[in-house]
Amino acid sequence: MSTLLDIKNLSTHFNTSAGTIKAVNDVSFELREGETLGLVGESGCGKSVTALSIMRLVPSPPGRIVSGDVIFQGQNLLKISEAEMQNVRGRDIGMIFQEPMTSLNPVLSIGRQLREPLELHLGMTKQQSLSRSSELLELVGIPDPATRLKTFPHQTSGGQRQRIMIAMALSCEPKLLIADEATTALDVTIQAQILEIIKDLTDRLGTSVIIITHNLGVVARYADSVNVMYAGKLRESGSLDQVYKEPKHPYTVGLLNSVPTLDLDADVRLQPIRGEIPNLIDLPKGCAFIDRCDYAGQKCEESEPELEEVEDAHFGACWEHKRVSKSLLGITS
């Protein structure tokens, strides 16, 4: 499989009156064709800003892509003109946002919004785009699509709206789909429906997917590989099994031990990560995770560890990665 997206040393900063926030700080990763990548982390870790940087949708000011390259199908998206970028958005890269109510236009009918990318990017006539929109809605499991096209976003439920967003994002059969917390606001049974639809359609079209979420379960079910972000940087990256079974960063270990799961002993005591996320304006000199880390030593205080390959295609950014291990929760005692 060839590389579809290659991000090199991407940095996106936000200038505020209190100082510069390095929301994305020297992030590099690759995505192959047909691959599904999970980008996980807690609020403020930079996962959404990474996605917005790929799409060149970072609000500016205060945000600014400071450096780096986003190579998509051999083209550097950060170097092309805004007009060219508009052709990439929607046609080559589709995006689904967390809150479908705010990402759909409330005063335009659903049909009108679905037709827009079809007419704009694929040059369809009104007749063609109408019938295609109807097909798309059927594809994402919306009953009676012809009537639904005439309705407005407020007349549909949250799950339906998110389906419409998927139909819209996939309408031009993009090469890459970015789902930013696409199911976070939904109930579990609806979440399962939506994720199954995304998986089914992207498998069929051979689309690569970046799933951005804080839910480690969703990633375990749908992704092929995982990137873990913390305080603006990638801290660990590898295949699903590598990261979940043998995490090499204490933060990943902490995340895995913090969530209760249905397969572990019900009475197990959760092992939270102590403390809170550091202030991004005033990060510690060494490793940003140092104040919450059980493994922290002298070296961690002095310099920031870089991402290094700890085993085949498994990367971790921790000086102490050899000592880091996932204590087998629930199986002890």
Partner 1 sequence: MTTTTANSTKDEAISNTQSPLLEIRNLKVHFPVTEGFIIQRQVGVIKAVDGVNLSVNPGETLGLVGESGSGKTTIGRAILKLENATEGQILLNGEDITKSTGNRLRDFRRRLGMVFQDPFGSLNPRMSAGNLVGEPLKIHGLTTTKSDYKRRVAELLKIVGLNSMMAGRYPHEFSGGQRQRIGVARALAAKPDVMVLDEPVSALDVSIQAQVINLIKDLQTEFGLAYIFIAHDLSVVRNISDRVAVMYLGKIVEIGSRDDIYNHPKHPYTQALLSAVPTANPELERNRERIVLEGDIPSPLNPPSGCVFRTRCPLATKECSTQVPELQSVSGNHRAACIKGDWYKSDSSEHESVSEEA
Of 54, 48, 50, residue with least CA distance to 175: 54
78: its two tokens: 């950060």
Of the candidate spans 64-72, 83-91, 101-109, 254-262, the one that interacts with partner 1 by CB under 8 A turns out to be 254-262
Interface with partner 1 (CB under 8 A), residue from 268, 278, 284, 304: 268
Question: Based on CB atoms, which residue is closest to partner 1, 25 or 193?
Answer: 193
Residues 199-228 that bind partner 1 (CB under 8 A): 214-222
Question: DSSP labels for 302-333?
Answer: HSPPPPEEEETTEEE--TTTTT-----TTT--
* Cα–Cα dist 190/173, whole Å: 24
Bridge-based pairing of strands 93-96 and 233-239 is unpaired
Number of residues that bind partner 1 (CB under 8 A): 48
Question: CA 237, 241, 247 angle in degrees (round to 5)?
Answer: 55
Q: 314 and 252 in contact (C-beta within 8 Å)?
A: no
Q: Is 272 in the site for partner 1 (CB under 8 A)?
A: yes
Q: Is 101 in the site for partner 1 (CB under 8 A)?
A: no
Place of tokens 């064709």: 33
* Cα–Cα dist 173/92, whole Å: 7
**Site mask for partner 1 (CB under 8 A), range 141-180, x = bound:** x---------------x-xx--------------------
Question: Based on CB atoms, which residue is closest to partner 1, 55 or 164?
Answer: 164
The H or E element containing residue 162 is helix 158-170
Q: How many CB atoms lie within 10 A of CB 263?
A: 5
Q: Is 273 in the site for partner 1 (CB under 8 A)?
A: yes
Question: Based on CB atoms, which residue is closest to partner 1, 245 or 323?
Answer: 245
Question: Based on CB atoms, which residue is closest to partner 1, 96 or 216?
Answer: 216
Q: Is 190 in the site for partner 1 (CB under 8 A)?
A: yes
Question: Based on CB atoms, which residue is closest to partner 1, 124 or 277?
Answer: 277
Of the candidate spans 7-15, 62-70, 270-278, 303-311, the one that interacts with partner 1 by CB under 8 A turns out to be 270-278
Q: 284 and 292 in contact (C-beta within 8 Å)?
A: no
Question: Based on CB atoms, which residue is closest to partner 1, 7 or 110?
Answer: 110
* Cα–Cα dist 212/194, whole Å: 14
- CA 297 from centroid of its chain's CA atoms: 32
Q: Is 266 in the site for partner 1 (CB under 8 A)?
A: yes
Binding site for partner 1 (CB under 8 A): 42-43, 141, 157, 159-160, 187-193, 195-196, 214-222, 240-241, 244-245, 254-263, 266, 268-274, 276-277
